[in-house]
Amino acid sequence: MLRKAGKVVKDKELTETLAEILTTRGIGLINEAQKKLQESRKGLTRLIESQVDKGVKCLKEAKDLGSKRGAENYERAKGLVEQAKSGLFGLDPEIAGLINQAQKAAEGSRWDEAIRLMKKARDKAPEAGREALDKMLAQFYNARGVQMLNTATEKLNDMAQSRQKMIGTLVDLFLEGKSVPGFGTKPKKKKWKAVMVVAGIVLLVIVMLAGGEEGQKALGQLILLALIMIGVPIVQALKSTLNPFSSNPGSGLPRCRLCRESASYRFDLPGKGEVSLCSTHSDELRKIIEFEPRPDDLTARLIVASFKDFGQASTLDPQAEVFDKNRRSASEIIDRFHLWQNNDNAAKYWT
Ligand SMILES: [Zn+2]
């Protein structure tokens, strides 16, 4: 009646009264639905949903009629509808508080805290609300995994760059067969050792320059870095271009660039052209380039931990493909650096 009258008369007072009535009715419906939902434990039933819809409609009308109270409650009710659809409507205030705190921690990228709080909320939540909380928890695990994997990847990139520089230095020294100042000219067989000494010194200088903290660390770290720096890019270039000479009677075999013995292999080195080496020197060069690079302990731990987090995320929310995709990326890096648990050296990263 009032509604019709309002439309016909356009009387301001009458409109306000109508808006008031609609607001009050809307709030009543929503509150009642909320109470029912708290008691139902079955989540959002159709009956409750239709009651919520009615309440929302009343508030929308009140809002359109210019009611401020109507507009405020309409926004609140819309939020409740979203919660209801996600199974979080009418949650216990304690659980709602935990979720709220968890979301704040997530906004600040404090993922450990966000995960801890959300797990707590999830354990206390009724069955109906679990799925929605699992999805949020999955997001948090994934975000933490991404954060860790990014940090690890930055470190790996730094290592790859240092390694590339070192390869250049080592290969230069090796090919020049240079004697090391202070060591005198060594016999052929000792050349490789001299190269390693120089490499060690160069490494030490690089490590010292790279950062005081790193520079302070002991010999073990130095050796580890040496292993890391020697490596992959040139290995790959070489593996594809390493050509053993076929026996080629008629033409004289080329000589080893380092010792003048007859050459057994020809290397096509990036930036250095073709280099022929005898089998002894070929083996030595191959040793330089075939070392397995390894990330440091912290980086290895981050990679493994990110893999675990992506696993958690995809278990909690199997439909979200991105979690599984991230898990595969982490798994590829674990493969590359042999960090699986069944590897004696790497088992410690999994605890
Ligand atoms: Zn040689």
8 A C-beta contact, residue 292 and residue 227: yes
Distance 280 CA to ligand 1 centre (A): 6
Tens digits of residue pLDDT in 172-206: 888 887 642 322 233 444 455 556 666 655 665 55
Closest CA to 145 of 320, 308, 319, 298: 308
Distance 258 CA to ligand 1 centre (A): 5
Q: Does the pLDDT value for residue 18 go beyond 90? A: yes
Query: How high does pLDDT run on average in the chain?
Result: 79
| Percent of the chain's residues with pLDDT above 90 | 37
302 pLDDT tier (thresholds 50, 70, 90)? very high
CA of 284 to the centre of ligand 1 (A): 10
Confidence of residue 169 (pLDDT cuts 50, 70, 90): confident
| Nearest one of 236, 239, 241, 233 to 273, comparing CA atoms | 241
d(CA 48, CA 238): 70
* Dist. CA 189 → ligand 1 center (Å): 10
Q: 259 alpha carbon to ligand 1 midpoint, in Å? A: 4
More confident residue, 229 or 316: 316
Of 221-230, 258-267, 328-337, highest mean pLDDT: 328-337
Instruction: Give me the percent of the chain exceeding a pLDDT of 70.
Output: 71
Angle between helix axes 111-124 and 127-176 (nearest 10 degrees) is 150
CA atoms of 118 and 104, how far apart (whole Å): 11
What is residue 38's predicted lDDT score, i.e. its pLDDT?
Answer: 72
CA of 17 to the centre of ligand 1 (A): 102
For residue 253, report the distance from its CA to the centre of ligand 1, in Å: 13
Q: How far is the CA of 247 from the centre of ligand 1 (A)?
A: 18
- Asked if residue 211 has pLDDT above 70, the reply is no
How many angstroms does the Cα of residue 186 sit away from the middle of ligand 1?
14
Band (pLDDT 50/70/90 cuts) for residue 250 is: very low
With a cut of 60, say whether residue 303 has pLDDT above it. Answer: yes
Per-residue model confidence (pLDDT) at position 47: 84
Distance 163 CA to ligand 1 centre (A): 25
Across 26-40, 42-56, 184-198, least confident range: 184-198
Q: Which residues contact 47 (CB under 8 A, 6 or more apart)?
A: 36
